[in-house]
Structure 1
Amino acid sequence: MQSRFQGGAAFVRGAFVPIAEASISPLDWAFTRSDAVYDVVHVFEDGFYRLADHLDRFAVSMRTRRLAPPESRAQIEAILHRCVALTGLSDSYVAMVALRGRPRIPGSRKIEDCDNHFMAYAVPWIDVIPKDVQARGAHLWIATKPRVPDASVDPTVKNYQWSDFTSGLFEAQDNGFDSAIVCDDAGFVTEGPGFNVFIVKDGQVRTPDRGSLHGITRKSVLELCGMLGIPAAIAPVRRDELEDADEVFLATTAGGVMPAARINGTILGNDRPGPVSLRIKDAYWQQHRDGTHRTDVIRDA
């Protein structure tokens, strides 16, 4: 069975299918209106990392966007385990998604006419910044187009509204950079496509207080800073502070703690990952090896 699911496994409309067979209706508002919320957790050496935290955040996102698929939290968790088990993967990227659904009455604009539904999938491990790029330090472009305002789209609800991020990626790739960081229209740093941003200045760590998802890896970084005795804060970060930082690193479920080496035309340190970034990165992966925040994958269900 694992050979059938080796590219990934998905749960769609009550059935487990190979990832290549997973689909939704083109009339689903999740597709036509980006009317969905999601969350992502990773599996490292047969164990979920901070699964409860991801399920908590997913529940809040669903409540905020008035999405109520029929599956209970316990059922959702069991589905995630089963998706991973079907793939046979020991390291995996695992997503859970709540979708608005297709209106039962064609052409209806009433939200209550849609039956919400849940889907999930597990695929091989994903690094949003490839490991070789992490090793030399990511080169990051500061996007010229601003982040969608928090008042318009709540960034603490994990969603598929990526127009601002995609525009930033266009610019980054056009200019030979690895990824982009997006600022708001007042010039304050927010986040990037799929990651939180941290700066290090004079030994102190700071991450933006606006325009950003409350990342689970971000939470881990702040906790680790406390354990390591590194001063850290959630506070405003101006664009010029980003460019003048001693170090910059990124944090995401899809890759962990990922150091940067260049911001636009600015070379950080010696054009390599900085010592504070590497210390936090090492501590983050040591937590994984120690089994901290681990939930073993259930494979015999």
Structure 2
Amino acid sequence: MTEDLSPYAAGTAYMDGRYMPISQAAIPITDWGYRRSDVTYDVVGVWQGNFFRLDDHIARFRASMNAFRFRPRETDEDIKAILHRCVALSGLRDAYVAMDCLRGRPPASVPYHPAYARNYVTAFAVPWVSLLNQEVMARGAHLVVAETVRIAATSVDPTAKNFHWADLTRGQFEAHDRGADFCVLLANDGTVTEGPGFNIFVVSKGSIVTPSSGVLEGITRRSVIELCGELGLPIEVRPVLVAELRDADEIFMSTTAGGIMPAARIDGRIMSNDRPGPISRQVQDAFWVRRAEGWHATPVNYAAADLPAAS
């Protein structure tokens, strides 16, 4: 096989008005995006040359920027064009495509306050990344309920994507120490929230429920709710008690980086003969069938690779 010598083959980044190979992308270590996790972001997937729900991701990204009071110069249409060009320059057919907005840092001539920092957008496209490898996807993930409590929504709004992952990271170490794949975090009131990068769905007696608060309102989560309507599967969006999670017949997760991901164990308890359950598989299969049919698809504009180098 001929080696791809393109400098963009490993991925493409956009930073503050310029495109570059992913290996050249960097932010200053003094930037508040780095030093204070003062960033919001979103991630959209490309599969078989198509973005999935691109407009929905752009809209959520803008809502997150507004929630955290970011005001970059790029419009929604600018951001959309940037993402298309990042994928096009990379030539990727399946890609993980991220967009970030960073606070920056106030220049020396103004007060040292976030209101005076210059906000800017970055983006990148790299080969597709999945939270679960194929082996774990086939056997079903092993989950644990973490002792670490989710950061309160009154402190950090979970509906706006953010880099405040200290609770999720601590929970993941708990999962690792207990031989599990992922953690699920509870809110202060003991209700279920989410895991590191995914929403949770609990299946009991043929009905599905997903938490209504303390969570990112995932785009793939929205897709699952739509699919359940198409499939005639009962689904509720409401507070979920931890006992419901631990006693579930089935559990599955949803995320951009993996789609529908079934679980097989919770806190060591085996579900569905230690394999993904029938409803989880039904939703998972329907998701990829609909994707293959062009559901919510936006074809990547690969001709954008031929545009001038400047933004």
1:261 maps onto 2:264 in alignment: yes
Secondary structure in structure 2 of the residue aligned to 1:71? coil
Secondary structure in structure 2 of the residue aligned to 1:56? helix
- Picking from 135, 139, 143, the partner of 1:136 is 139
Q: Which amino acid aligns with 1:176?
A: G
Q: Give the match for residue 234 of structure 2.
A: 231
- In 2, distance between residues paired with 1:38 and 1:239? 29
Report 1:105-116 matches (<5 A). 105=108, 108-116=111-119
- In 2, distance between residues paired with 1:106 and 1:158? 31
Q: Give the match for residue 245 of structure 2.
A: 242
Report 1:20-59 matches (<5 A). 20-59=23-62
1:294 maps onto 2:297 in alignment: yes
Secondary structure in structure 2 of the residue aligned to 1:191? coil
- Picking from 210, 213, 224, the partner of 2:213 is 210
- Picking from 65, 68, 71, the partner of 2:68 is 65
Question: Is the Cα contact below 8 Å between 1:2 and 1:88 reproduced in 2?
Answer: no
Q: Give the match for residue 169 of structure 1.
A: 172
- In 2, distance between residues paired with 1:213 and 1:106? 37
Question: Is the Cα contact below 8 Å between 2:197 and 2:255 reproduced in 1?
Answer: yes
1:17 maps onto 2:20 in alignment: yes
Q: Which runs of 5+ in 1 are unaligned?
A: none
Q: Give the match for residue 90 of structure 1.
A: 93
Question: Is the Cα contact below 8 Å between 2:45 and 2:257 reproduced in 1?
Answer: yes
> Cα offset for 1:112?
2.6
Question: Is the Cα contact below 8 Å between 1:2 and 1:87 reproduced in 2?
Answer: no
String of CA shifts for 1:228-266, please: whole Å, max 9, x gaps.
Answer: 000001111111110100000000000000000001121
Q: CA RMSD in A?
A: 1.3
Q: Give the match for residue 119 of structure 1.
A: 122
Q: Give the match for residue 220 of structure 1.
A: 223
Compare 62-71 and 246-255 and name the one that shifted more: 62-71
- In 2, distance between residues paired with 1:247 and 1:106? 58
Q: Give the match for residue 199 of structure 1.
A: 202
Q: Which amino acid aligns with 1:65?
A: F
1:151 maps onto 2:154 in alignment: yes
> Cα offset for 1:207?
0.4
Secondary structure in structure 2 of the residue aligned to 1:283? helix
- In 1, distance between residues paired with 2:131 and 2:252? 13
- In 1, distance between residues paired with 2:21 and 2:109? 30
Question: Is the Cα contact below 8 Å between 1:37 and 1:158 reproduced in 2?
Answer: yes
Question: Is the Cα contact below 8 Å between 2:74 and 2:121 reproduced in 1?
Answer: yes
String of CA shifts for 1:237-296, please: whole Å, max 9, x gaps.
Answer: 111110100000000000000000001121112100000000001111111100010000
- In 2, distance between residues paired with 1:107 and 1:20? 33
1:274 maps onto 2:277 in alignment: yes
- In 1, distance between residues paired with 2:5 and 2:240? 46
> Cα offset for 1:174?
1.5
Question: Is the Cα contact below 8 Å between 1:199 and 1:245 reproduced in 2?
Answer: yes
How many residue pairs are counted as aligned between the two chains? 301
Q: Percent identity?
A: 50
- In 2, distance between residues paired with 1:9 and 1:91? 13
> Cα offset for 1:86?
1.1
Secondary structure in structure 2 of the residue aligned to 1:192? coil
> Cα offset for 1:2?
6.7
- When normalised by structure 2's length, the TM-score is 0.94
Q: Which amino acid aligns with 2:271?
A: L
1:80 maps onto 2:83 in alignment: yes
Question: Is the Cα contact below 8 Å between 2:210 and 2:240 reproduced in 1?
Answer: yes
String of CA shifts for 1:84-122, please: whole Å, max 9, x gaps.
Answer: 011111000000111111211289432232110000000
Secondary structure in structure 2 of the residue aligned to 1:145? strand
Q: Which amino acid aligns with 1:289?
A: A
Q: Give the match for residue 187 of structure 1.
A: 190
